[in-house]
Structure 1
Amino acid sequence: MSTSVRRRSLLAASSAHAVHDGMTDLIYVLLPIWQAQFAISYAMIGLLRASYSGVMASFQLLASRLAKRWGRARMLIGGTALAGVAYLIAGQAGGLPMLLIALMLGGLGASTQHPLASSLVTDAYEAGGGVKEALSTYNFAGDIGKTLIPGAVGLLLVVVSWQTSVTLIGLLGMTAALLLWRLIPAPAGTAASAAEPASTPATATATAERASVPATAAATASAKAAGLRALLATGTLDSTVRMGFLTFLPFLLKNKGAGTAGIGVALSLLFVGGAFGKLLCGYLGARIGMMKTVWATESATSLSIVAAVFLPLAGVMVLLPLLGLALNGTSSVLYGAVPELAAPGKREQAFALFYTGTIGAGALSPVLFGRVGDVTSVPVALLSLAAILLLTLPLAWRVQKSL
């Protein structure tokens, strides 16, 4: 694959990641507004968040399969357009039912991005090397979107209504779909349907090798399968804590005296740190190993969440970039391990399975811990999340054994 095609593939995937992640995490800025407007509980707040991320998680495997029939590019462009339409509908919502429908449609559109864009990058860079570094760049772009879109809307909400802001983001999604149509290299449109055929020279060779050494191949496949399960469990817990923390952070800041603009700026600070965390930790994982990197980032995240609960508002604002670096950095290392643990010819499915598990956990987390927040308090819910995160440490050790 030529250098030009590789770069266009990475640019297209990164652009999709930036827009989709920005639209997804914009919901955190809007949650306190919706709570005030509709007078809803923390558990219902969690349900609003889950209506987007839950649908996104549920349809990722289906999106991966449909891409084989209809083409990766077509699915990715259509999903981006649908997410934009969903925000246009949300901008007209006058009550919870329409808002829930809009968020579910947004999640359906967003379900195409992670598995298809990740495999687009992996396929483009596999032959020439640098897959982990390219995936780190792709993940970095996602956090750029998380930084710019919620931060811009947080400031925009000072002068216009949330309905107007959401409508503008819907137009952004539609524009991004047009950009992807122009940007994705033509071969990538059919790559998804031909990337992993039932029989190719490479898979035929692999089959012959497995036939000659069945015991060794079976042991290797078993070790990789166990490693992938441990990786999925690690990502699930990491996502549970990350999504739970992000859901409660605006309310923690509000309790400490922050306004709407302040919450938007705070999320931008967090995501700036997260963007550099994904970029840095992706490269760091390739140098010192997945386990050491995960242990460092998850331990730092747990301690930082505890600190955020007890610090005053000014202290939390200073802490947020460092917290974001650790909070989001882990995922970049975990993504990079997926291709290494995927079975032959099953990479796209492995990405879809990983994202389904992690995003699904992230969808359930706000609902579960929202109930904890209703029964106890937001600080107690956050401290519970910090404790749960430490369970990733032994799991990361198990993943490392399979790499």
Structure 2
Amino acid sequence: MGVGLFLVYPALFTDVTDSYRLSRAGRLRTDLGGIYFHLLAALGIIGLYLLTGQPFLLLGVLLIDVEIVRQLIPFLRLDGYWVLTDLAGVPDLFSQAGPFIRSLLGSRGGAGERLPELRRAPRVTFLVFLALTIPALAVLIVLVVGGVPALVAAASDATLHQLGQLAEAREQGRADGIALALLQLALAVLPLAVTVYLIVLVGRRLLAGLVGWGRVNPRRALTAGLTGVGAAAVLGILWIPQLPFLASAPGDVQTVAVAGRSHVQGSVAYEQRPPVGGDHAPIWQNCGFYDAPIADENVVHSLEHGAVWIAYRPELPDDQKARLRSIAYSQIHILVSPYDGLSAPVVTTAWGRQLAVDGPDDPRLRQFIQAFRLAATAPERGGACTEGVGTPR
């Protein structure tokens, strides 16, 4: 037993290599060892529930059941995969996939690449496994690769927020706050790190295979080159429009010079309505959706932290308000509130920037959010947008 990294996640492990010396039934018991411990833990939690009557403990049982189901998925090298390999009598289905496919096509592999003789049942099991696994992994790869921009945006948001928390904790001399911010910072970038690692790992193997295939003759080399260029173009089309640091603002955004940003008590006479910056209240407005007007002075403080403020006319139809509400909670650092006297149904504002749009479905609204939410134009971007004033709905 020991501790290691599974991809980049810390994990406990047990070396069960010697299980190959056991009978098939013994190997299956070994494969299901993790499931047994899950069930024992679930029984223990059920016992605590019967003793205490606390219903929240049953949530732990449900989570264990979900984890058991996840572990039994055979498409990755989890418990279910090893159960299937031992049931089929093939030591490692993935490592034998190439020789098996070549045997179906009637071609012969090199030395050490030939598939052991399989009876009918294992061959059918292997064939069904590949028929289900190849499309499933293809879909998974598409989802993972296509989701990279969203992961980058989430990691960027979380990093900026935690850096703000870290700076605040350092100013206050709070060692616990510094440690917590550093831990959350590491956890924030971990999903992106795992995804990048997987893409690089799979990409290197695919590229090596493509290069090797293309070395046979000039025609294959040309095909391999065009395939590589095409794949790079597809990635660019998928990623570039969604990456937050490459976002372009709508062409009709109004830019306003902001003179000061001091903390003041009381009301402030802003030239712009809604205001785009300036002196403001010492406490920021909590981000989220509001169905009643909120104070300009608190909102401007949130703008200083990188928030985008979406102001809407109070008489806006309910269905459009509902869509604005969903936008408010789709990402951090977004404020939505009613505002009297707007020049358009919806006016969206960031520090020093403003844009009037026709409604929540106007594509310029999302462009504005992507370009200016937590942008470098905000003097204190990444500052808090929670634990201030106001209760979002």
More helix by share: 1
More strand by share: 2
Q: TM-score, normalised by structure 1?
A: 0.26
Structure scoring higher RCO (CA < 8 A, sep ≥ 6) equals 1
Structure number with greater Rg is: 2
